[in-house]
């Protein structure tokens, strides 16, 4: 799977136009939210994905305000992979600005370093599990590809897998199931591998 993702990224480098090599000139190193708050270049913005799905959040980080007054943020999503989008029309949209949180970049991190990380992954393809908006933003801004939402999901998945694994192990020690032992052992092996894979996910 990892090799396939690398192959797709390599192909995209030949098919897609580089964002980093065509960045617009900035007038302001940051953007103004409609409620008056200011987010500096490199700061992370977080909003609920949808009012009906309050637990799901969408992440971008600030590029800045261009000389033609476009307020731009970096995003990774299923529609356009890595892209520069407009703050108000493409990110805030119909959402209440008060719902948007600002997470500042580390003070000792130059914005140039953040852009270098964008360059590393600008041709990657979005994947909700391994290359989502939160992982992209956290990697570019903080250097760590982490997603609290995916970690939570992984924890739930591991718990369910371990419960099913225990059920099949109990079946294995029941003498009434002796004629099905080959099938039971196969299920145990499959679930043990699943638990192991979940634990090893980065």
- 38: three-class secondary structure by DSSP: strand
How far is the C-alpha of 46 from the C-alpha of 60, rounded, in Å?
Answer: 7
Q: What token pair was written down for 90?
A: 């493409």
pLDDT band for position 16 (50/70/90)?
low
Q: Residue 49 has what pLDDT? A: 66
How far is the C-alpha of 202 from the C-alpha of 186, rounded, in Å?
Answer: 27
For the chain, give the percent of residues with pLDDT over 90: 44
pLDDT digits over 166-191, tens only?
A: 988 998 999 888 888 888 898 888 88
Q: Residue 93 has what pLDDT? A: 83
Q: Residue 191 has what pLDDT? A: 84
């Amino acid at each position: 799977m990892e090799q396939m993702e690398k192959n797709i990224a390599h192909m995209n480098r030949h098919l897609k136009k580089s964002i980093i090599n065509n960045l617009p000139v900035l007038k302001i190193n940051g953007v103004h939210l409609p409620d008056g708050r200011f987010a500096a270049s490199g700061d992370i913005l977080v909003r609920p994905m949808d009012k009906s799905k309050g637990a799901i959040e969408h992440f971008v980080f600030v590029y800045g305000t261009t000389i033609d007054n476009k307020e731009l943020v970096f995003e990774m999503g299923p529609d356009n992979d890595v892209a520069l989008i407009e703050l108000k029309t493409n990110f805030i949209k119909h959402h209440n600005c008060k719902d948007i949180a600002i997470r500042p970049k580390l003070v000792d991190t130059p914005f140039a370093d953040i852009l270098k990380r964008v360059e590393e992954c600008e041709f990657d393809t979005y994947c909700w599990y391994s290359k989502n908006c939160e992982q992209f933003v956290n990697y570019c801004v903080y250097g760590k590809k982490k997603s609290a939402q995916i970690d939570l999901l992984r924890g739930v998945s591991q718990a369910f897998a371990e419960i099913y694994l225990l059920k099949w192990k109990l079946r294995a020690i029941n003498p009434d199931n002796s004629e099905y032992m080959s099938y039971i052992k196969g299920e145990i092996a499959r679930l043990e591998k699943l638990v192991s894979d979940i634990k090893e996910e980065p």
